[in-house]
Structure 1
């Protein structure tokens, strides 16, 4: 659609009465029209061809209204994934623990600097190339195709293309990786989005720009000029390349304000259009104003553009990981106007496609993550949005998919099969399947082909004295039922080898008459004892079949002699245990870039090419199955009229039944008014009597109806007693009585952990009910953090402003300082409200202290 026609139609929309809306919606390819109310959301009009996702013709893309459209005029439902940690490295993606590559190496810039200092620039380049050649292989491209993805977002740093030592000069190998990726994608009929993840000078302070805490792009005409030059080189190179879906100008440019971002984006747009008039140009919307800061790109003279937004429900302070936060996002919330509906309205009003360039819908969700991932992609495509998940691959120290790693693909692990320890459950006695710390479960120890020898290791130890019994140990092939452990019934030490890790004398009795262990008498057993601290392992080799799953079974018992400092752990590891070396289930090789030899560093990065990987099968299955996700399709109504009647012995909770398909109700309880809720019971009736009570404690309750696929929205919260805070006292920020809907709770990095409240923008507030027994003066400590600083909030009591507090720059969003103010408070009950007068600050707690 040309500039003049689109502008004319935009004016018609503003002038015509509502009945013309349907026709104009078809003409403009809008998901809906009329008032600003975002519900209902109408998918692309049937007047335009809308093939089933994945069946569209593979040809060059353009932005048409709110659509991503191909040459044949079809809506293309783009769904894909990011290639994080390939060309742009984010070191946490190797191992989410602290210092994965060595102390004080937080980002790619530091990594490259250390390699250069130790070995020289040429060796540094060789190691980085080794990483890139190893991290992404043909098998990874095949996995993306098997998942049904038709687009790949490729994050890259500017110095992949530009010679850092000779600015505005192409590297000799400038195009090798992007060319190769485009060829791999084209062979599989996939598109690519070229995403500038780290610009010259860097566009923010985050480590994912490549250099943490730099953010020099915006104040440097030289860096901005180099970025313009870079995009012109890319446009010249890939002008006419249909595999390229679009140019992502800047990833998450949080280092500036919306006006500066819009101005620079327009400059980049014009520079690219001097060379390439056809490719979609993707504008970053990652500032406080989102896409609304641009307005309609047409008004700025920009055509064939899209907006890039990153949506992470359940992460980064956006609620908690779980069903509820995704339900509210995908279904537009309880009132049907929030979540994706709000963003659909913004996109509709500016007639522009959206790329959800990053999202993570499966982390921490187990098997449910598959359904939620499919539901997310389906909803985004229904709204005409493209979407790429973060990210294809991550690895971790212990490996294994677990409850949902960030990577769709991850290194195999699950080496710790079962564990009990006295810190979790002193005097334990159980089967491995019911172990109180880590219960045994089915695991696929080797995902490759053929057979592999691994080692079943039993580690026992303590700090003061050990006494543990093991019995009837088996490791069974789930498909064949074959037990591959020899002499797991004990009686002798046959087939078991022993090593010591550290400690004092100990004894292994393989013919111990234990009697019953976890309800079964199957003597003889193995008893491990020591008078003082020790840590030892017995092990045997076992042969596992590639791709087969195995389940550990057996029993163990804490015989009570060791006190509260004893452990029992069973591992299946790929390397034979060695004397004086701990068995810790580490599945990822160790490396220390600061100290290891160049050969050891080579081995680390080279290992990723042939590493044994697992896929998140729940996600893969959901993405490729014929039927859409069933989750979020049958949500019961909200239970109402919740009432708590408290007595000395019980809190009787009752409510009015929800409507819809209801199998029962989950009762949630907390001792805080707005956080810490957990399910304490599932009932089919509309009442519950809670007898698990502590004296002089106010409990908070809500209930939610559920059925086989969904859970309804939470009822109102009801309390069993007083809900106000008696001052002087300390108030944790997350335990507010009420809050602006934009305020969010996230994990706090402050001393003592817990949670903080953030996402403060002008006009957002939190409120606490307080009671002052005696009027007087108070010293009030506010625990605050802000990376921008010089931002303010007012302190109000029943609507009267008592003070204005300025939050300084504390050096980080989770770097806290205490600001103390003096307030005079009247006696009685009141509502204490903190109202943000500026943007971007966090609150961890407030403490009122008597000034006397």
Structure 2
């Protein structure tokens, strides 16, 4: 097993390892901007099942899991020089709300398959519980249909996560290609008082089931606040996330200003120093669990986004920090490769509508429907000048409630209706659009990563 020794991860033979790779977003934890649906995953699945029926919806979603990552994908990542994949998962694959505390063993089927494929190519996996029952943060990526992180309010949800991690840790306790466990992605505990004691409890439970694997623990407030840790745990990496403001969909020029804040290479380094201060002060390994810019399709602006990424990778190299770039595969916003074929032919117009409305937070410029939402922002600023809700303030909260919840949920029936009338072969073809052989490769990004990692970007351009 890999293990922590001071500021480094070491192999069983005490050779240092710097984990550098990518996140497998949108696979066992689906996200709206990654596969093109609106709102949150559970709501989308329910809407699609309402059109297809349970059996045929299962056919589509299981085929998508199979096609989304295969041996070809593992080979591509290994060829780039990557040695790690962070695998986000949803609790719903392993336990249902209708039957809490009952582990669904079938949930391990695809996860075992991909961990095995990666291991065969010399790539470690970090298992990341990205969606917890009750939702551990305020946004869609924890499968949250609201803006309330109920996980921190109810002991019931916390008990279920402890039980689930005991089962996961027991299942993988002897697997050397599992680098470790990332048990809570981007916690958003508004009080900051529940998350620390919960970690204390969770660490003890996981260690009892599996005393050897590394724990990768995110800080509070989306892995930016580490003051919540009351003690240092052995064999643990404290994970920071390091998205650059200029790299968001609403980002400005680089170097340049984004919403009044200047961003250049110096600011990127100062931000990383601030976000990794806890790790440096405690003498623990540096690992960036998520980072990476959003691409726009504008060659000039995207060239700036590639420079942001290049500068961040140089900064991480200078600090001997590991990383997992977000994300591997999607419908064209951020991935190393993106889907093509029947899926984009059928859903491309719908995805364009979502973009026009700014219905996905990750792809929103915060300027869509300005004639409608702009006056609402002004009203909130005027009438409630002191209102600054957790985690990011009034402007983001208003957008989340209107664009990313109200608009997004209103779009669910339209998305689901696009499945109506399709036969089994057509459903399979939609899912297979995410297979690597049907995807478009983002060549500049692949070349950039290969140059940083000493690999090759390989394969034909589509």
Using structure 2 for the length normalisation, give the TM-score.
0.72
Equivalent residue number for residue 434 of structure 2: 608
1:189 aligns with 2:15: no
The aligned length equals 368
Equivalent residue number for residue 31 of structure 2: 90
Assess if the C-alpha contact under 8 Å between 1:152 and 1:193 holds in 2: yes
Question: Greater RCO between the two (CA within 8 Å, min separation 6)?
Answer: 2
Equivalent residue number for residue 358 of structure 1: 290
Q: Given the superposition, is the C-alpha separation of residues 284 and 344 from structure 1 closer, same or farther in structure 2, using an over 3 Å criterion?
A: closer
Equivalent residue number for residue 244 of structure 1: 178
Q: Given the superposition, is the C-alpha separation of residues 320 and 152 from structure 1 closer, same or farther in structure 2, using an over 3 Å criterion?
A: same
Equivalent residue number for residue 231 of structure 1: 165
Assess if the C-alpha contact under 8 Å between 2:82 and 2:453 holds in 1: no
Q: Given the superposition, is the C-alpha separation of residues 326 and 249 from structure 1 closer, same or farther in structure 2, using an over 3 Å criterion?
A: farther
Structure with greater strand share of residues: 1
Equivalent residue number for residue 210 of structure 1: 143
Assess if the C-alpha contact under 8 Å between 1:66 and 1:354 holds in 2: yes
Assess if the C-alpha contact under 8 Å between 2:51 and 2:416 holds in 1: no
Q: Secondary structure at the match of 1:176?
A: helix
Matches within 5 A, 1:316-715: 316=248, 320-323=252-255, 325-330=263-268, 332=269, 338-361=270-293, 363-364=295-296, 365-367=301-303, 369-370=305-306, 372-396=308-332, 405-411=333-339, 592-594=415-417, 596-599=420-423, 601-609=427-435, 612-625=438-451
1:153 aligns with 2:86: yes
Separation in 2 of the partners of 1:627 and 1:133?
28
1:140 aligns with 2:140: no
Equivalent residue number for residue 3 of structure 2: 62
Cα deviation digits, residues 149-188 of structure 1 (max 9, x gap): 1100000000212244322122241211111111111111
Q: Secondary structure at the match of 1:197?
A: strand
Tell me by how many angstroms 1:295 deviates: 4.6
Q: Secondary structure at the match of 2:447?
A: helix
Separation in 1 of the partners of 2:71 and 2:3?
29
Assess if the C-alpha contact under 8 Å between 1:258 and 1:288 holds in 2: no
Tell me by how many angstroms 1:216 deviates: 2.1
Tell me by how many angstroms 1:203 deviates: 1.1
1:162 aligns with 2:95: yes
Structure with greater helix share of residues: 2
Equivalent residue number for residue 117 of structure 1: 50
- Show structure 1 runs of 5+ residues with no match: 1-59, 96-100, 333-337, 397-404, 416-590, 629-852
Assess if the C-alpha contact under 8 Å between 1:246 and 1:279 holds in 2: yes
Assess if the C-alpha contact under 8 Å between 2:126 and 2:178 holds in 1: yes
Q: Given the superposition, is the C-alpha separation of residues 288 and 386 from structure 1 closer, same or farther in structure 2, using an over 3 Å criterion?
A: closer
1:294 aligns with 2:118: no
Assess if the C-alpha contact under 8 Å between 1:344 and 1:383 holds in 2: no
Assess if the C-alpha contact under 8 Å between 1:312 and 1:318 holds in 2: no
Bigger radius of gyration among the two: 1
Q: Secondary structure at the match of 2:226?
A: helix
Using structure 1 for the length normalisation, give the TM-score.
0.40
Equivalent residue number for residue 526 of structure 1: none
Assess if the C-alpha contact under 8 Å between 2:241 and 2:290 holds in 1: yes
Q: Given the superposition, is the C-alpha separation of residues 215 and 291 from structure 1 closer, same or farther in structure 2, using an over 3 Å criterion?
A: closer
Coordinate RMSD, CA, aligned: 2.8
Q: Given the superposition, is the C-alpha separation of residues 292 and 223 from structure 1 closer, same or farther in structure 2, using an over 3 Å criterion?
A: closer
Tell me by how many angstroms 1:321 deviates: 4.9
Q: Given the superposition, is the C-alpha separation of residues 610 and 251 from structure 1 closer, same or farther in structure 2, using an over 3 Å criterion?
A: closer
Assess if the C-alpha contact under 8 Å between 1:158 and 1:199 holds in 2: yes
Tell me by how many angstroms 1:326 deviates: 4.9
